[in-house]
Chains A and B, each alone.
Chain A
Amino acid sequence: AQKITQTQPGMFVQEKEAVTLDCTYDTSDPSYGLFWYKQPSSGEMIFLIYQGSYDQQNATEGRYSLNFQKARKSANLVISASQLGDSAMYFCAMREGWRGYQKVTFGTGTKLQVIP
């Protein structure tokens, strides 16, 4: 079974609108971390947001928020007030086991295009 599933290969959003990128995960490890990264066409991966499995509240970082539903094993990224610079690939990822270890499993990504 896939550990990280992103079912939306591509999405369009109007500038200034909010958009939700879906991510579901599968693990039996009680300790895990969930991430979202952005990859512009330049290739560099940019950290956006992190949610630990024991965190009670949903993570937020500026315009980014992570809708963490533990029972459903979902970790959707919400981008509010989309900007043209948000056009990029977005990857959901999961770290299992010890916190701080870098063995991370990535999803297949969602290509987001922001329309003026």
Chain B
Amino acid sequence: KAGVTQTPRYLIKTRGQQVTLSCSPISGHRSVSWYQQTPGQGLQFLFEYFSETQRNKGNFPGRFSGRQFSNSRSEMNVSTLELGDSALYLCASSSPDRATNEKLFFGSGTQLSVL
């Protein structure tokens, strides 16, 4: 079974641009969440999607948005990029099985650099 796949692995953008990151969860997983990891702030929750609906959101500005498609794949968009958006963006998915749904499976992340 393939793991959580995030694309692209690396991305370089300039201030003011926008970016879209993609996440394909493990087959059968319907919950997908996104995290931002920076040396200064650590790992911070961005948002969570379940069956195409956002069911939790972290404390990030509206420039950060996401969506989930019917096949559970998710995208995250950041508009009007700022230098402080440079980070590793991690996506995670979990199984709908109650016995194991607490276990998050993470992708390798997208390293975003804003110049």
* Residues of A bordering B, CB below 8 Å: 33, 35, 37, 42-47, 50, 52, 91, 93, 95, 99-109
Contacts and interface: CB of A to CB of B under 8 A. Distances in A.
B40 to A, nearest CB: 10
A101 B58 CA distance: 13
B84 interface: no
Contact of B104 (A43, A45, A107, A109): A45
- Number of chain B interface residues as a range: 20 to 34
Given A102-B33, A106-B42, A47 B56 contact: no
Interface in B61-115: 88, 90, 92, 94, 98, 101-109, 111
A43 B109 contact: yes
A47 B108 contact: no
Interface of B: 31-33, 35, 42-45, 48, 55-56, 58, 88, 90, 92, 94, 98, 101-109, 111
Contacts of B102: 33, 35, 50, 52, 95, 99-100
B31 A109 contact: no
B31 A102 contact: yes
